[in-house]
Amino acid sequence: MTSFLLRDARLVDLDGSGTPDRPVDARIVAGRVAEVAPDLPPDGAPEVGAEGRWLMPGLWDQHVHLTQWSLTAARLDLAGARSAAQAVALVRDRLAEWPDLPVIGWGHRPTDWPEDPLVSTLDAIDTDQPVVLIAGDGHHGWLNSIALLTLALPSREGVVAEGEWFSAYARLATMLGDDGTGPEAILRTQEQAAALGVVGITDLEFAGGPDEWVSRWEAGAGLLQVRVAAYADGLGAVIERGLRTGDVLPGCDDRARMGPLKIISDGSLNTRTAWCSEPYAGPAPLGFPHGQPNQTPEELRHLLRRATEHGLDVAVHAIGDLAVGEALDAIADTGARGSIEHAQLVRRDDVRRMADLGVTASVQPAHLVDDRDATDRLWPDRGDRCFAFRWMLDDGVSLALGSDAPVAPLDPWLAVAAAVHRTVDGREPWYAEQAITLREALAASTAGLGTVAAGHPADLVLLDDDPLGSWGGRLPAPTVAATWVGGRLVHGGA
């Protein structure tokens, strides 16, 4: 059913232009909002009673690694480990419980640990099983020698980082067999998102890409709007098939579309590889006091030019301020369109350039909660230029919020709360002057169309309370009564 008449819904005033005091009806025809007005005459389509609940456009998470997010639940959670010794204790517990399974852990953040994560520390655990511990920021793996051997990586004493890790990561699934990333698991994960009011995601998963989503769709695992990115190693195949950003993927319906070309131009804060104009505080264990770029300027421009010539937007991961500046230079030189992903640390002038160039800032507010201590330690002089939402909106940059799940949970309400309050854990707000309003944060978590109106896609969410009302952007979020994608009910029911 993609046509129905929704009765008695209050409109959430997302664009701030005022909405009717009394509930209205919304006529949904073939997956689109055809009419919004009080007391619409029936047209034979089924009627759904909203009973005065609040209607707004559905939420988007613009930065997700969906396969990894699906896997996260099955993984050993190391986010709470405060030292290598604590992480090892958790690994030992898991092996005592399941001695015949490899240990895949996730979430450790060794920046603040008293000791470095070393291969020999994991080798001291008495097991024949591979142990693979994936850092909370995704930028390195801490492996035991058996895992290094299994993944055909040279032996070493430290972690496997950046490019070497990303290609090893892609081989991890093969090592584990079908480990919960099949169509059923992917559908379940989308259903969980729909229960939070999510109607769409941009999937920036490292492996798989468009082909994987085509087979998921064939297997009946399609649910949400999905924009699927390709990486440089899959760019040739995408171009060969003539897929442009926005095109429906072959064999799928119009929910599954080609997304951007994703380019990882620098590293991360916690791994000290984000590329910065000023050096990190403290030692530089990897030998790059400023972090470093992953491509030469020529390589970056070549990729942007190739994508642009073939109708693809770009999504350039840039966390350090020098990486953001360089990405903007390259975008200006090549005429590329798209987004900077993360834009965690920015220079004031680069925010203005972002607006001038029409580049979207795709930022994940929950990271400001996770990274505030690491920032105070590693970038003690520049926290005021991190997650600069206020500057971005004041300068007219188009802002798109997301989670970077599994780095943070796939939960747009958490993103909104962090963007509005600059804290979600009871600590004092972190650089409160960069906060944005609840209305701004909600708008940045939708497709950008504003208050529900005729002509919009029927990607909608119905809430028990006004999200601009007493909720105030503090978790827990308002209850989601129903979510529709293209007029199909994907969660709940009114």
Q: Which residues here bind Zn ion, judged by CB under 5 A?
A: 404
The dihedrals phi and psi of 444, each to the nearest 5 degrees, come to -75, -5
- Is the Cβ of residue 204 or residue 378 nearer to Zn ion in the bound state? 204
Nearer to Zn ion, 319 or 494 (CB): 319
Return the number of other C-beta atoms located less than 10 Å from residue 177's C-beta: 6
Six-digit token string for 53:
């609940």
For residue 342, the minimal CB distance to Zn ion (Å) is: 8
Q: How far is the CB of 64 from Zn ion (least distance, A)?
A: 8
Distance of CA 408 to the CA centre of its chain: 8
* Residue with Cβ nearer Zn ion (144 or 271): 271
β pairing state of 338-342 and 314-318:
parallel
Helices (H), 177-247: 183-194, 209-218, 232-240
List Cα–Cα distances, 387 to 77, 211, 281, 392, in angstroms. Answer: 26, 34, 19, 9
Neighbouring residues of 448: CB distance < 8 A, sequence distance ≥ 6 = 398, 400
CB of 39 to Zn ion, least distance (A): 46
Comparing C-alpha atoms, which of 494, 453, 447 is closest to residue 28? 453
Give me the DSSP letters along 378-426.
HSTT-GGGBS-HHHHHHTT--EEE---BTSS-S-HHHHHHHHHHS-SSS
CA pair distance 419, 408, nearest whole angstrom: 14
Find the shortest distance in angstroms from Cβ 440 to Zn ion. 23
* 198 neighbors 229 (Cβ within 8 angstroms): no
- Shortest distance (Å) from residue 204 CB to Zn ion: 5
**Closer to Zn ion by Cβ: residue 272 or 456:** 272
Find the shortest distance in angstroms from Cβ 101 to Zn ion: 27
The residue at minimum Cβ distance from Zn ion is 404
Query: Is 262 or 491 the residue whose CB approaches Zn ion more closely?
Result: 262
Q: Which is nearer to Zn ion, 404 or 411 (CB)?
A: 404
| Contact present, 399 and 358 (Cβ < 8 Å) | no
Closest CA to 157 of 185, 126, 117: 117
- Give me the least distance between CB of 404 and Zn ion, in Å please: 4
Which residue number, 53 or 108, has a Cβ lying nearer to Zn ion?
108
For the CB of residue 147, give the shortest distance to Zn ion in the complex, in Å: 23
Report the residue number, 34 or 232, with the smaller CB distance to Zn ion. Answer: 232
CA 37 centroid distance within chain: 35
Q: Which is nearer to Zn ion, 5 or 314 (CB)?
A: 314
CB of 341 to Zn ion, least distance (A): 7
CB of 88 to Zn ion, least distance (A): 27
3-state helix/strand/coil string of 106-146? EEECHHHCCCCCCHHHHHCCCCCCCEEEEECCCCEEEECHH
d(CA 403, CA 192): 14
